[in-house]
A and B are shown apart, each in its own frame.
Chain A
Amino acid sequence: MLIQWCLKGIAETSAFGDLEAQKALQDAGLTSAWLRNPTGRDILTLPADSQSSLSQSALNAHVNSFSTIAATTPYMSVSAGCVELDPGKTTTTVYHALETALSFATKSGACSGYVFRLWVLVSPKPAPELPGFAEEVRELNLFRQYAIFHDEGEIAAKLFVPARQIESVEKYDCELNLLWTHLNSNFIPPERISNLLEFL
């Protein structure tokens, strides 16, 4: 397993403001639309329901047809940045995760929003049906299907990201001024589970 730092940009709306942003660090974590819109499901059927919702086709729809499943997708996009090749100019272009996250958080400078810094586990092989770890959609060696917005450097988390994996949240206004930063006092750093072992 790999551990990947990521950023998640969320625009400020009537449904998601300062309170919700800080609560994400306290205990709520960040949740997918599927979890936020249960429509008849309850916690007892969550394991069975999530099993049927996670699939390769659901991931494909999330990546390439998001507008059709925005309200029900069990996946949640976070960004880790990306490098694109330009064969025409024989150069590479780096797409920074922060620029992508800020673009989403502020709707390209139209509103204020939040950027969360978090880590997720990433499987070295695709397994969109299994919960518990994220899918590295940006990795073309693993996900060979064409992704329209590959340059967004997407990592697709599943169902939710626990609060303890979220290090901080920053709020930016539409001019990209950093308004405030909140750190998660209960944050668990990824070093806790890395394969670097201390001697006895």
Chain B
Amino acid sequence: MAWLPSIEERERGVWRKRANARIRFLERFGERAPQLPRFHPERAPGLVEMPQLPAANALTKAAELAFVTDQTTRGRELLDRAVGHLLAERPGNWPITRTALLGTLVHRVSTELNSEGIHLMADDLRQDTSWYYASTLILDRTAGALIAAAVASGPPERTLSLLTQPLQAAEDELGIHSPERLAYLIAAKAMEADTLPLFGWRRRPDGPPGETADDTRRHADQAVAAFLMLTQRYAARVRLLTSDHAHWGQLYPRVPMLDWTLLSLHVALLRREMTIPIRKLFSSIQPVGPAGALGTFIADIASALDRT
């Protein structure tokens, strides 16, 4: 069962009914949006930069509603369609973080972060964004999501070499202020980077992350603690959402109900073969209370996504 824990059992019938009505509306809007006059590039030239984006937004919201009301298969299908709309934009126009995060969940996009920049790959298409052009201000806010997408895309030594390879000395005149170094610093300080020991990488006390020589409990402990903190953060977010009774009651939350970044990290864990000691440690340490229930909820969705 994968009901959002904040939805009490006695309310689930009503929630399911309302969610299905809203999902239907969002589905229809997602289907129609690219052709509606307001969003059609030929009918509104100059006004529309990314005509597929409203459809992707609507289908993502629909997928989220499906996930929180224990309709994981339907949610996955809606998410796949949302990603389809994102990828229908020409490469160069893909919204970076959203395409990386959502695309990796449905196995359609692979993300790599290296010293050159952010690389998104979908079949034969790719979008490369150099650190010279990626705003560090935006990266500061989205680094966690990109790290999650990267570790879910494959082994971090390949997909996250920005953090897992020793930082080369910048040869250009910018020196320590080079875009690559700034990107490394921003990514390294994201809380999601602290989960890397669970994927086989730990932060060396004297510098950048390096491959673990062994699965020492101390390093895995820190990574699990980071996971717990991320789950607590999600729990705080859900508490805030439920306090907005007007929107919550209508299943119309102003901001996403699902923590897609945390979900990606859980999917990444499933896709990586954890060593037995780490797996045991991770299973034994679970947050209590609402955060614990949310952690189980996210893990259940990740399992369902990974099975499809």
Which residues of A does B touch, CB under 8 Å? 84, 86, 88-91, 93-94, 96-99, 102-103, 106, 108-110, 148-149, 151, 170, 175-178
Q: Could you say which of B21, B39, B247 contacts A98, with CB atoms under 8 Å apart? A: B39
Q: Which residue of B lies closest to A170 (CB)?
A: B37
Q: Is the Cβ of A88 less than 8 Å from the Cβ of B255?
A: yes
Q: Is the Cβ of A109 less than 8 Å from the Cβ of B21?
A: yes
Q: Report the separation of the CA atoms of residues A175 and B32 in the bound assembly, to the nearest whole angstrom.
A: 9
Q: Which residue of B lies closest to A151 (CB)?
A: B254
B233 surroundings in chain A (CB, below 8 A): 88
A149 surroundings in chain B (CB, below 8 A): 246-247
Q: Is the Cβ of A109 less than 8 Å from the Cβ of B141?
A: no
Q: Is the Cβ of B32 less than 8 Å from the Cβ of A176?
A: yes
In the assembled complex, 21 residue pairs joining A and B whose CB atoms fall closer than 8 Å, in A order, are A84-B254, A86-B254, A89-B255, A90-B142, A91-B142, A93-B254, A94-B57, A98-B36, A98-B38, A99-B29, A99-B54, A99-B58, A103-B25, A106-B25, A108-B22, A108-B25, A109-B25, A148-B247, A151-B254, A170-B37, A176-B32
Q: Report the separation of the CA atoms of residues A97 and B256 in the bound assembly, to the nearest whole angstrom.
A: 19
A89 surroundings in chain B (CB, below 8 A): 141, 255-256
Q: Does B279 contact A (CB under 8 A)?
A: no
Other than A108-B21, A176-B29, give 19 A-B pairs with Cβ distance below 8 A: A86-B254, A89-B141, A89-B255, A89-B256, A91-B97, A91-B142, A93-B57, A93-B254, A93-B255, A96-B54, A98-B36, A98-B38, A98-B54, A109-B24, A109-B25, A109-B28, A148-B246, A175-B28, A177-B32
Contact residues of B between 158 and 202, Cβ < 8 Å to A: none
In the assembled complex, the CB of B162 is this many whole angstroms from the nearest CB of chain A, namely 20
Q: Is the Cβ of A110 less than 8 Å from the Cβ of B21?
A: yes
B142 surroundings in chain A (CB, below 8 A): 90-91
Contact residues of B between 60 and 101, Cβ < 8 Å to A: 97
**Binary flags per residue of B20-34, CB closer than 8 Å to A gives 1, else 0:** 011011001101110
Q: Does B237 contact A (CB under 8 A)?
A: yes
In the assembled complex, the CB of B138 is this many whole angstroms from the nearest CB of chain A, namely 9
Q: Does B240 contact A (CB under 8 A)?
A: yes
Question: Main SS of chain B's interface residues?
Answer: helix
In the assembled complex, the CB of A3 is this many whole angstroms from the nearest CB of chain B, namely 16
Q: Report the separation of the CA atoms of residues A89 and B258 in the bound assembly, to the nearest whole angstrom.
A: 11
A177 surroundings in chain B (CB, below 8 A): 32
Q: Could you say which of B24, B240, B247 contacts A88, with CB atoms under 8 Å apart? A: B240
Q: Which residue of A lies closest to B259 (CB)?
A: A89
A170 surroundings in chain B (CB, below 8 A): 37
Q: Report the separation of the CA atoms of residues A55 and B31 in the bound assembly, to the nearest whole angstrom.
A: 42
Q: Which residue of B lies closest to A149 (CB)?
A: B246
Q: Report the separation of the CA atoms of residues A16 and B75 in the bound assembly, to the nearest whole angstrom.
A: 36
Contact residues of B between 225 and 266, Cβ < 8 Å to A: 233, 237, 240, 246-247, 254-256
B32 surroundings in chain A (CB, below 8 A): 176-178
Q: Report the separation of the CA atoms of residues A192 and B252 in the bound assembly, to the nearest whole angstrom.
A: 39
B97 surroundings in chain A (CB, below 8 A): 91
**Binary flags per residue of B128-142, CB closer than 8 Å to A gives 1, else 0:** 000000000000011
Q: Which residue of A lies closest to B252 (CB)?
A: A151
Q: Which residue of B lies closest to A7 (CB)?
A: B38
B29 surroundings in chain A (CB, below 8 A): 99, 102, 176
A109 surroundings in chain B (CB, below 8 A): 21, 24-25, 28
Q: Which residue of B lies closest to A109 (CB)?
A: B25
Q: Report the separation of the CA atoms of residues A162 and B66 in the bound assembly, to the nearest whole angstrom.
A: 42
Known contacts A99-B29, A148-B246, A176-B32; is A84 also within 8 Å of B255 by CB? yes
Q: Is the Cβ of B237 less than 8 Å from the Cβ of A88?
A: yes
A88 surroundings in chain B (CB, below 8 A): 233, 237, 240, 255
What are the 10 closest A-B residue pairs judged by CB atoms, nearest first? A90-B141, A109-B25, A176-B28, A86-B255, A108-B25, A176-B32, A148-B246, A98-B38, A88-B237, A109-B24
B247 surroundings in chain A (CB, below 8 A): 148-149
B25 surroundings in chain A (CB, below 8 A): 102-103, 106, 108-109, 176
B21 surroundings in chain A (CB, below 8 A): 108-110
**Binary flags per residue of B26-54, CB closer than 8 Å to A gives 1, else 0:** 00110111001111000000000000001
Q: Report the separation of the CA atoms of residues A14 and B246 in the bound assembly, to the nearest whole angstrom.
A: 29
B38 surroundings in chain A (CB, below 8 A): 96-98
A93 surroundings in chain B (CB, below 8 A): 57, 254-255
